[in-house]
Amino acid sequence: MNSENESTEELNEENVAKETTQKEEVSNEEIQEEPQKSELELAQDAASAANDKYLRLYSEFDNFRKRTAKEKLDIIKSASEDVIKNMLPIVDDFQRAMTHNAEVQDPESLKQGFELIYNKLLKSLEAKGLTPIEAQGEVFNADIHEAITNIPAPSEDMKGKIVDVVEQGYYLGEKIIRFPKVVVGQ
């Protein structure tokens, strides 16, 4: 019986050895079936991934640029809308004044009406940050004033100073939006 057990054990060991060899062969075949990527294929895959990433990033940036340009236009439109809404009551006042002027014979009442409308317009613009540049009698400054002409100074103390303001200048906040056109005394 020992010899039968020994031969059965030997057969089992041989079967285990054969199975192990077969498994190794199968795994070697699987490895051989999975083709190893060459360096060129790996580089092409990396380049393809980088190109895809670049295209996505470019598309995102292009969308961002378009979106911000559209938002900027919307802001500009809405800013002018606000100013126009503030000017509409003044336009209405001018229409009423023109209708009323056809019937009025007193020039003093016409003058007062136009002064009221002018003051209302000026107050509305000042509420939006507009301030006039005071130039009359000031020393001429080429950074702030635009000289139209020079005339002989009416007095010695007016030399180099502004004698007359032809067109009023304005600040919008801290920025000059229109330079005053002035006449300078020589």
Q: What is the fold of 54-128?
A: Hemagglutinin Ectodomain; Chain B (3.90.20)
Q: Which candidate, 130, 136, 135, places its Cα nearest to that of 176?
A: 130
Q: CATH number for 129-186: choose from 3.40.50.1100, 2.40.50.60, 3.40.50.2020, 2.30.22.10.
A: 2.30.22.10
Tell me, what's the pLDDT at 106? 85
Copy the structure tokens of residue 60.
């995102």
Residue 181 φ/ψ region, left for φ over 0, alpha for ψ in the -120 to 50 degree band, beta for the rest: beta
* 143-183 per-position pLDDT tens digit: 999 999 999 988 888 888 999 999 999 999 899 999 999 99
Question: pLDDT-based confidence at 18, cuts 50/70/90?
Answer: low
- The CA distance from 155 to 157, in Å, is 6
Copy the structure tokens of residue 159.
């030399």
Mean pLDDT within 84-108: 88
